Amino acid sequence: MDLQLDGKTAVVTGASRGIGLATVAALTEEGMRVVAAARTVTPELKDTGAVTVAVDLSTPDGPSQLIDQATAQLGTLDLLVNNVGGGDSGESQTSGFLAFTDRQWNEALGLNLLAAVRTTRTALPSLLPKRGAIVNISSNGARMPHAGPTPYTTAKAALTAFGKALSEEFGAQGIRVNTVSPGPVRTAMWESPDGYGAELAAAMGLEHEQLLARLPAAAGMTTGRFVEPSEVAALVTYLASPLAGSITGADHIIDGGAIKTV
């Protein structure tokens, strides 16, 4: 299937690994010219052929620095993928609401919500002439806030609401905004020895590998396995395509059937 993306331009944030890296690879394979942003530019990211920008999007000035460099490289933009996120690892992520400090709340909201707000605000003047698309990467935890660290899932819920509001305000000007909400994805969040998965395993008295083996079933994933980053990237790529021209304002769940409600 020709997704009609050849020659179009994109910015992807949080691109060094996981979903971001897979998305950069998928978009470049479709012929898009991509600027990929990350705090640390990894060899794997360089290998995609994207233009890389090392930037910290949790800072107030990081998003404008990124978009300025991206438009200098690409001209006007067709697509923005707000993938950068995190704050679901580190001290006391499994200890409950009372354990979270103001610093942790500010970090979670800054990285998972305000980075997307600032990047979108800076990118929209470039996206509007091209009637471009925005895809925000949220989490199914936005619909099940008890399923992860409270600051993280709360920030993701706000990001999902942000995308819906944008789609209403800018839809008449040709901008499509969609949200992609994965469940557990095979990324460092779960697999890293110092990530959230490892801390959760320790809190449950399990070996890390035991948790990874049991989690899909425990989370109600009818597929019985983690979501692969490439599967999320494929969905993002389709939503970026003109073939998805009537899809906007939607939250697309990709969680192996974990959410059971209609």
User: Which residues, other chains included, contact 74 with Cβ-Cβ below 8 Å and sequence gap of 6+?
Assistant: 9, 11, 33, 35, 51
Q: State the number of CA atoms in the 13 A half-sphere of 5 facing the CB.
A: 28
Which residue among the candidates 52, 116, 152, 198 is catalytic per the annotation? 152
Q: How far is CA 210 from CA 86, 89, 180, 228, in A?
A: 23, 19, 28, 19
CB atoms within 10 A of CB 22: 25
Q: Are 36 and 81 in contact (CB under 8 A)?
A: no
DSSP per residue, 128-189: GGGT-EEEEE--GGGT-GGGS-HHHHHHHHHHHHHHHHHHHHHGGGT-EEEEEEE-SBSSHH
Is 238 an active-site residue? no
Where in 183-225 does DSSP place strands (E)?
none
- Residue 197 CA to residue 215 CA, distance in Å, equals 10
33-38 and 51-54 strand pairing: parallel
143 φ, ψ to 5°? -95, -15
Catalytically active residues are 152
